[in-house]
Amino acid sequence: MAKKQAATIKNKKAIDLEKNVSDATDQFLTTNHGVRIQDNQNTLKAGERGPSLLEDFIFREKIFHFDHERIPERIVHARGSAAHGYFQPYKSMADLTKAGFLSDPNRQTPVFVRFSTVAGSRGSTDMARDVRGFAVKFYTDEGIFDLVGNNIPVFFIQDSIKFPDLIHAVKPEPHNEIPQAASAHDTFWDFISLMPESAHMIMWAMSDRSLPRSLRMMEGFGIHTYRFINAKGVSTFIKFHWKPKLGVHSVAWDEAQKISGMDPDFHRRDLWEAIENGSFPEWELGIQVIPEKDEHKFPFDLLDPTKLIPEELVPVQRIGKMVLNRNPDNFFAETEQVAFHPGHIVPGLDFTNDPLLQGRLFSYTDTQLSRLGSSNFHEIPINRSVAPVHNNQRDGHMRQTVNRGTTSYQPNSIGGGCPYQAMLSEGGFSSYPEPIAAPKVRARSVSFSDHFSQATLFFNSQSKPEQQHIIDALSFELGKLTYPEIRKRMVGILTQIDKGLAASVAANLGIAVPEAPEKPINQGMPADADAEKYESKKGKSVIDKSEALSMAGTIKDTIATRKIAFLVADGVQATDVALVKTALEKEGATVELVAPKLGAVATADKAAQAVDKSFLTTASVLYDAVYVPAGADSAKKLAADPDAVHFLNEIFRHCKAIAFGQGAESLASQTYFAGKTDEGLIQGKDLVPRFIKAIAGHRVWEREASRKVPA
């Protein structure tokens, strides 16, 4: 009887659970309340290029659910590193904006900057192939301004209603929570292969830009088009750029994977140590300025977040600098609790109708409520405005402010009308009065329909090594897929960007290039819209190549903050160690002595030379270059050590500078590169200046042509 009763209970539970099982096969897409959705690609707007409307219950339900899917870490940008600093303009920008922090070149505005990966969790590696967040909080005298961007100037999607779909696709797959912090899996590429609007961003994400050498060596972008408003009420379109003073540099993919194993905190450690050592990271703030009259002069739409403005068409004006000079005192209180929001702006700045930006203006506040647990997240010290805060918002979970007085409403007479509204002349914020007269529609402007010309421009602008890295990245990512049809569909997309690119990737995948790209089941336009009007077609770029899109021409005149390994063993010449070490440190580099074991080695003159690391505690991938100091005995011992030979082979494979002091050249004969010569292999006359120049050059990427280095 008991067994029968237990079985009945078990069956009842199974039946109850079955009610919660959802199978979407052959079903219509609906809201959470069962309403069938006719368009899941576009937010409701006032006209095709107009602002998104608050009444869009489908978007609000979708983004609300997405914002509250994870607790307590961020859904995206969960893994972050941050620092304090200041921003200072070079000159007054009052002709373009009335924002006070941009009007006085003598004013330093405090900032807090958070860098992050996007896809991984808090515990994931810094070195995943991923977009990097680049968010800056300005504590201005007029309130908080958050410039929330990435290290890539465009994005995957054009409309914010697709953001939950994008992130669901790139996150670990829901049935097994695999893979972590990686896009090389079926669901991501299934989504991308059906979204041609992602083509441009995919070129960036598969490029070396997604593998920065350091957070201090990557660009930042505001992504969207914003507005500057001056004191006369004149509006100007603006694109924001952050240009690193150290140049834009990357690591190799093989190197990134090994760094993830040796030091998954590589970027976080690098930023922290640079600031602690007084090597303060610096960026220049640049803007691209587009007068309102030129809004429609380009062959792309300024409101399309999958497009950039080539710098050859609109140069970047550098208007100020940002210096990061202080590490956080407490990671959780500052880096983890900081809350950014593109809707935090000050007088002199305003938004455009970019449909991705419009959705972010809702989503970020909603996310903070879920993640930080209170509508009072602005009272957490790291989020607190330095400008006085006075309003009638009261109470709520974790309220810190003690409000005096008897009135909490406005207008009032009991409290003398306070706090009262500010006139424009008193610094009151006023939205730009952009005229709008359009029907309510779920649609996308035909000016958003060219998905491939800028992807082609980006690929054409890359150096040969950079192009090969994109081919390798796509081959790796698509090679991880288990659905052949997704690979084929994605190669079809690549044919629209560059036929040589598609052919190379297809060859690596062992498949034929499709005769024609498969027409996606959904091209981001309304299903029953005018097919000809909304057909995604390849347009023509104004220019064929943009030097600014390649890292080949970046700053290569400094070795400041570069990390150099000296390989030493018993018999090393102490004078040579001191000479070269002093010369490199004078240029701002950091030197570490690496030996077969920790402690000290005996120099040629029988003194003890302390070492910093051993081959057991470090690896070549954690250094920018290697030097083998003079000393025949030391070189001989290193030549007999497999770890030392591997160290050198690997650093050669990753295209870094290698130098040999007098008598140490014999060690090279035991390596893969014995007998080879290039600008990154240094020995003999004028060694130090040539070595410094080679390190500053970052990499000798041409070495990769052989692709046979056994490291």
Give the catalytic positions in this structure: 77, 150
List the one residue out of 689, 690, 683, 643 whose CA is nearest residue 666.
683
Question: How far apart are the C-alpha atoms of 147 and 345, rounded to whole Å?
Answer: 9
Question: How far apart are the C-alpha atoms of 339 and 227, rounded to whole Å?
Answer: 23
* Beta partners for residue 594, in sequence order: 567, 613
Q: Which long-range contacts (CB under 8 A, 24 or more apart) does 435-441 make?
A: 436/46, 436/47, 436/50, 436/51, 437/47, 438/45, 438/46, 438/47, 438/48, 438/50, 439/46, 439/47, 440/44, 440/45, 440/46, 440/53, 441/44, 441/45, 441/47, 441/48
Distance of CA 642 to the CA centre of its chain: 37
* Beta partners for residue 236, in sequence order: 228, 291
Question: How far apart are the C-alpha atoms of 346 and 92, rounded to whole Å?
Answer: 16
> Phi and psi at residue 332, in whole multiples of 5°?
-65, -50
List the one residue out of 15, 311, 277, 256 whose CA is nearest residue 128.
256
Give the sign of the dihedral formed by CA 481, CA 483, CA 485, CA 486. Answer: negative
Question: How far apart are the C-alpha atoms of 468 and 459, rounded to whole Å?
Answer: 10
The per-residue b/e assignment along 302-313, b for 16 or more CB within 10 angstroms, e otherwise, is bbbbbbbbbbee
Kindly write down the DSSP assignment for every residue of 452-463, as one continuous string.
SHHHHHHHHHS-
Give the CA distances from residue 47 to residues 117, 440, 442, 444, 535, in Å, rounded to whole numbers and listed in that order.
35, 6, 9, 9, 19
Give the sign of the dihedral formed by CA 351, CA 352, CA 355, CA 357. Answer: negative
Give the CA distances from residue 146 to residues 68, 107, 140, 243, 613, in Å, rounded to whole numbers and listed in that order.
22, 18, 10, 18, 41
